[in-house]
A and B are shown apart, each in its own frame.
Chain A
Amino acid sequence: MSKTEAFVKLPDRSPPGSSVGAIAWTRQNLFSSATNTLTTILFLYLFYLYLPSFLDWAIFSANISGSDRSICDANKAGACWTFIKVRFDQLLFGLYFAANPEQIWRPTAALSLFALILVPLVIEKTPHKKWLMLFLLTIYPIIFIVLVYGGFFGIPVSNTTQWGGFLLTFALAFVGIILALPLGILLALGRRSEMPIIRALSVTYIEFWRGTPLITILFMASVMLPLFFPSGVEFDKVVRAMIGITLFQSAYTAEAVRGGLQAIDKGQGEASMALGMGYWRRNIFIILPQALKISIPSIVNTFIALFKDTSLVSIIGLLDLLNMSQTASRSLDWNGYDIEGYLFAGFIFWIFCYGMSSYSQSLEKKLDTERRVE
């Protein structure tokens, strides 16, 4: 072979000025063609029309000081956030806690504890997530009841009927998810079972609840539940709603878990069968942990739907966040400021739902790349 020469690398040049940088970005994304430019102008014009007046109403001219409606009545050009400020405790914790300010530490502590557990759960690198999760699903509810319901350690009782506002919304959604999860897992296993009767029962149950609107189920729970139980047994309205929500939610959870079960390789089940594991051991130790991990995004999605749907309890007269803000804005003190009430409630709902959906989307993306790498 003859002698070879060394490879001479040409120096990297930077691209011609027009293709990178802020100006290039603007040109490519906002003014790349005639239609594109026209679209940009149209949207800017719409912003110009509506944004300033909205911002002025919501922020610059808004009222926040004072403690009654006189200040808002004097300045109608701005939103009346004073209303939200004055009724804040009532909107968050309901009438009982708003009337007994010395007790407000109870729901505050319960909700703060929840947030404290949730934060490490969402952070990716936290160790022992499983145990934290287990704590949240089993021990935390007990703490919540002790704190909010009371009756122990000299804490005065506040009945579920006295719960309201965001506290009630939270309680309904939380009860819905922790009771529906085990039920949903059983139903999902039942739907994939090889025993025809069990499969048929599970399918019927799941499709029945999924086919009916929640509001009908809430009507049913509030009207018909008392008929189903012997006359001595009585539930209050909140517990009835909780039962209805749990039954409803378990069907949706079951479908989410089923999706995870379907995604698990058949080989996993066969391998563990070959090891001589029985049905329950196989499912509990091998299949379910993997399936649940995959189905977390869809479970979170059903939970978002549930969280929004808890607002339907206002139709059967419970004072959840939505109904509480509506009731407050219809009281004599604040009559006429219902837009502020709805916006506040909507904002709270939005923060939670958007947060959860962003989380589930990022989780989905992560699971997706993990599977591709494998």
Chain B
Amino acid sequence: MQVLVLTLVSFFIFSIYQTTVSNLVERGIQTSTSFFDDVAPFKIGFSPFLNFELGKTTYIEVFYIGILNTLLIAILGIFASTVVGFIVGIVRLSPNWLASKCALIYIEIFRNVPLLLQIMFWNFAVFLATLPPPKKSIEFGYIFLNSRGLHTPIPFIEDKSSFNAWVFILLLGVIFCILLSRWAKKNFEQTGIKRPIFIYNLLILSSIGFLSYYLLGGPLEFDVPVLGKFNFKGGGQLPLPLFSLWFALTIYTSAFIAENVRAGISSVSKGQIEAAKSIGLNRSQMINMIIIPQAMRVIIPPTISQFLNLTKNSSLAVAVGYEEIVAVWAGISLNQTGQALIIIAMTIIVYECMSLFTSFILNMYNRKVQITER
């Protein structure tokens, strides 16, 4: 039986391979990786990590730019959707009927409409149509939002040696805080005296940070976006496609995460809460020591899967023109070179790596939880 299936599968793959090779020959396409070092004849507008230069950047560099841009939107999206998702999930369980129902409506609307539709809706119908031109940007302090995207100030290092000194002092502060926490924990175990050590640490760190920052004469400068003739110059820029994609991915994914959070918290049984009350724990102790640890075990695994989904979904950027891997590699580069086989395979490998990485993390987490469970 096994042998039969194996032969059938190998025969199938082999025959596909053969026809593919003959088809490629017929069309005069030579499959090779030699195009990697060719100069890419198109422009990539957004490449914050690698310098793009038209006429100099090669295909393989385009591939790297694509990966980095995918990672950027993934990290931005994971951060924002986790924050929003947890807020909505907790509001869903609010004792306030109105708040809870609003969270329910949010969840049910946004997870039941295709993500692509949402991306296009926000990008084309809302942001492009309603955001003002650069000259009339919406301002939040030094942050500007307009039809070209979001512009923020970014810090840069002015004086290298004083910056290093600042980092060094901060590091010392962190070490001090760690030692202090350890001492406090030990002291707590011995005497039962509890101190608000987190607040102490926060105060110590921030005062050290600010004080040394001014004493060193401000080692960081901020590059503030300035309105030029057509658009803002300087500062950090999130081009509108990235902004819309981020917005839509956040809303879509947060609806799923909110549902995970709700399910996780509801999974903590009533008996657990009654037991916590019956031994005299107050509300915040009960939430911190009984509900959250148990809820997190239910929330974390599906939420990690949502992070992977978000990363895969970021490939929908093609629709609005954000330059991540599918858009610049499986899209433009493929059209330019015709090297479908290699390019698609590389794209798939990138995603498979991410998904393997995710399942690795998930397995690790499950093993850790299992040890403490039975």
Contact present between A and B (CB < 8 A): yes
Q: In the complex, what residue of chain B is closest to A197 when comparing beta carbons?
A: B2
Decide: B97 and A227 in contact? CB cutoff 8 A.
Answer: no
Say whether chain B's binding surface is mostly helix, strand, loop, or mixed. helix
Given contacts A213-B315, A219-B326, A223-B344, is CB(A350)–CB(B112) below 8 Å?
Answer: yes
Which residues of chain B are near A15, meaning CB under 8 Å? none
Near B by CB (< 8 A), chain A positions 202-250 give: 207-208, 210-213, 215-216, 219-220, 223-224, 226-231
A311 touches B355 (CB 8 A): no
A183 close to chain B: CB less than 8 A: no
A residues within 8 A CB of B340? Answer: 223-224, 227
Residues of B near A157 (CB, < 8 A) are: none
Distance, CA A198 to CA B116, complexed state (A) = 36
Judge whether A44 is part of the interface by a CB distance below 8 angstroms: yes
Question: For residue B6, which residues in chain A have a CB less than 8 angstroms away from its CB?
Answer: 197, 201
**Whole-angstrom distance between the Cβ of A320 and the nearest chain B Cβ:** 10
B117 touches A311 (CB 8 A): yes
Does more than half of chain A's interface fall in helix, strand or loop, or is it mixed? helix
Contact of A215 with B112 at beta-carbon distance under 8 Å, contacts A311-B117, A342-B117, A342-B120 already known: no
Residue-by-residue, is B314-326 near A (CB-CB < 8 Å gives 1, otherwise 0)?
A: 0110110000001
A339 to B116, CA, bound (A): 14
Would you give the shortest CB distance from A65 to chain B, in whole angstroms?
23
- Chain B 149-179 residues near chain A, CB threshold 8 A: none
- Given the known inter-chain contacts A30-B96, A308-B114, A311-B117, please indicate yes or no for A212 contacting B20, CB distance below 8 A: no
**A224 contacts B120, CB within 8 Å?**
no
User: Are B355 and A210 neighbours in the complex by a CB distance under 8 Å?
Assistant: yes
Complexed CA–CA distance, A326 and B348 (Å) = 29
In the complex, A20 has a CB within 8 A of chain B: no
Q: Does A105 contact B (CB under 8 A)?
A: no
Of A32, A207, A312, A342, which is within 8 A of B121 by CB?
A342
A84 located at the interface, meaning its Cβ lies under 8 Å from any Cβ of chain B in the complex: no
Report how many A-B pairs have Cβ atoms within 8 Å. Answer: 145
Q: Is B94 in contact with A39, judged by CB distance below 8 angstroms?
A: yes
B352 CB, min distance to chain A CBs, angstroms: 4
The answer to whether B114 and A29 have CB atoms under 8 Å apart is no
B114 contacts A309, C-beta separation under 8 Å: yes
| A215–B95 touching, CB < 8 Å | no
Give the residue of B108, B113, B121, B318 whose beta carbon is less than 8 angstroms from that of A308.
Answer: B113
Which residue of the partner chain B has the closest CB to A352?
B112
Interface status of B351 (Cβ within 8 A of chain A): yes
- Interface residue A285 (Cβ < 8 Å from any Cβ of B): no
Beta-carbon contact of B96 and A29 below 8 Å: yes
The residue that A216 contacts in the complex, of B109, B125, B351, with Cβ under 8 A, is B351
Q: Does A110 contact B (CB under 8 A)?
A: no
Within the complex, which residue of A44, A219, A229 is in contact with B98, where a contact is CB–CB below 8 Å? A44
**A220 contacts which chain B residues (CB < 8 A)?**
344, 348
CA A338 to CA B124, docked complex, whole Å: 8
B143 CB-CB contact with A under 8 Å: no
CB distance from B241 to the nearest CB of A (A): 14
- Those of A334-350 within 8 Å (CB) of chain B: 338-339, 342, 345-346, 349-350
- Check B356 for interface membership: any CB of A closer than 8 A: yes
Q: State which of A32, A36, A322, A357 has its C-beta within 8 Å of the C-beta of B117.
A: A322
For the complex formed, measure the closest distance between the CB of B272 and the CB atoms of chain A, giving whole angstroms: 19
State whether A213 touches B117 (Cβ < 8 A).
no
Is B113 in contact with A350, judged by CB distance below 8 angstroms? yes
- Interface-central residue, B102, B315, B318, by most chain A CB under 10 Å: B315
User: Nearest Cβ distance between residue B29 and chain A, in whole angstroms?
Assistant: 9
Q: A40: which B residues are within 8 A, CB to CB?
A: 96, 98-99
Q: Could you tell me if A39 and B348 are in contact, using CB atoms closer than 8 angstroms?
A: no
Q: Which of B6, B16, B120, B318 has the most CB of A within 10 A?
A: B120
Question: Is the pair A224, B341 in contact by a Cβ cutoff of 8 Å?
Answer: yes
Is A43 in contact with B98, judged by CB distance below 8 angstroms? yes
Are B121 and A346 in contact (CB-based, < 8 A)? yes
Q: Which of A43, A44, A211, A322 contacts B120 (CB 8 A)?
A: A322
Contact with A along B113-143 (1 / 0, CB 8 A): 1111110110011100100000000000000
A312 pairs with B116, CB closer than 8 A: yes
Task: Contact check, B114 vs A322: say whether CB atoms are below 8 A apart.
Answer: yes
Q: How far is the CB of B69 from chain A (nearest CB, A)?
A: 15
Interface assignment of A114: CB less than 8 Å from any CB of chain B: no
**A309 cross-chain contacts in B, Cβ below 8 A:** 114
Q: Could you tell me the distance between the alpha carbons of A345 and B1 in the complex, rounded to whole angstroms?
A: 48
Per-residue 0/1 for B187-214: is the Cβ within 8 Å of any A Cβ (1 yes, 0 no)? 0000000000000000000000000000
Residue of B nearest to A233 (CB): B19
Give min CB distance, B329 to chain A, whole Å: 10
Considering the complex, give the chain A residue whose CB is closest to the CB of B124.
A338
CB neighbours (8 Å) of B98 from chain A are 30, 39-40, 43-44
Cβ of A275 within 8 Å of any chain B Cβ, yes or no, is: no
A276-312 with Cβ < 8 A to chain B? 304, 308-309, 311-312
A227–B25 CA distance with the chains assembled, in angstroms: 10
Q: Are B318 and A195 in contact (CB under 8 A)?
A: no
B352: contacting residue among A32, A211, A228, A304, CB under 8 A: A211
A219-B344 contact, Cβ under 8 Å, with A32-B95, A346-B121: yes
Known A208-B352, A211-B351, A227-B23: A353·B112 in contact at CB below 8 Å = yes
A27–B351 Cα gap in the complex (Å)?
52
Docked-complex contact B313 and A349, CB < 8 angstroms? no
Provide the residues of chain B in CB contact with A342, threshold 8 Å: 117, 120-121, 124-125
Distance from B290 Cβ to chain A, minimum over Cβ atoms (Å)? 21
- Known A216-B351, A308-B113: A39·B20 in contact at CB below 8 Å: no
In the bound complex, what is the Cα–Cα distance between A10 and B359 (angstroms)? 63
Q: How far is the CA of A326 from the CA of B116 in the complex (A)?
A: 12
The answer to whether B125 and A312 have CB atoms under 8 Å apart is no
A44 and B330 CA atoms in complex are apart in Å by 48
Chain A 81-110 near chain B by CB (<8 Å), digits 1 or 0: 000000000000000000000000000000
**A312, B117: Cβ atoms under 8 Å?**
no
- Known contacts A43-B102, A201-B5, A228-B20; A312/B316 CB under 8 A: yes
Tell whether A354 is near chain B: CB-to-CB under 8 Å: yes
Could you tell me the distance in whole angstroms from the C-beta of A309 to the nearest C-beta in chain B?
Answer: 7
A312 to B2, CA, bound (A): 37
CB distance from A13 to the nearest CB of B (A): 27
**B347 touches A (CB below 8 Å):** yes
A-B contact pairs, 17 of them (CB 8 A): A29-B96, A39-B98, A43-B102, A197-B6, A198-B1, A211-B352, A211-B354, A213-B351, A219-B330, A219-B344, A227-B19, A227-B24, A228-B16, A228-B20, A308-B115, A315-B318, A342-B117
9 additional A-B pairs beyond A216-B348, A311-B114, beta carbons within 8 Å, are A212-B312, A215-B326, A220-B348, A227-B20, A228-B23, A231-B23, A315-B316, A338-B129, A339-B126
Leading 7 A-B pairs by shortest Cβ distance: A211-B355, A353-B112, A29-B97, A213-B312, A308-B114, A311-B114, A213-B315
